[in-house]
């Protein structure tokens, strides 16, 4: 399932995110050859990943109940 995610991210041009998922889950051996070639020269930079947020937490700032 994660290999499909990586291939989808690559097809959308999100190479940094795809490389990060592949590295974190060690799934390079499950990727297609064309996907491996596209990720081969990508230097993963965690700072370029989109910020994550808690989906259960409040998105507004300030005091909340």
Q: What is the pLDDT of residues 21-58, one digit of tens each?
A: 999 999 999 999 999 999 999 999 998 887 776 667 66
Residue 65 lies in a domain: no
Residue 62 lies in a domain: no
- 28: containing domain: 2-48
The string over 1-14, giving b where at least 16 C-beta atoms fall within 10 Å of a residue's C-beta and e elsewhere, is eebeebbebbeeeb
Question: Is-above-0.85 flag for pTM?
Answer: no
**Mean pLDDT computed over 1-24:** 95
**In this predicted structure, what is the pLDDT of residue 5?**
94
- The per-residue DSSP string of 24-42 comes to HHT-GGGS-HHHHHHHHT-
Domain count, the chain: 1
Residue 57 lies in a domain: no
Residues contacting 45, CB < 8 A, separation 6+:
16
**In this predicted structure, what is the pLDDT of residue 57?**
65
Distances (CA, A) of 58 to 15, 18, 45, 51, 62: 30, 28, 28, 15, 10
């Amino acid at each position: 399932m994660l290999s499909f995610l990586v291939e989808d991210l690559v097809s959308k041009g999100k190479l940094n995110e795809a490389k990060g998922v592949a590295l974190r889950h060690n799934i390079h051996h499950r990727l297609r050859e064309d996907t491996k070639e596209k990720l081969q020269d990508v230097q993963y930079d965690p700072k370029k990943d989109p910020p994550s947020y808690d989906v259960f937490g409040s998105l507004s700032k300030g005091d909340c109940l």
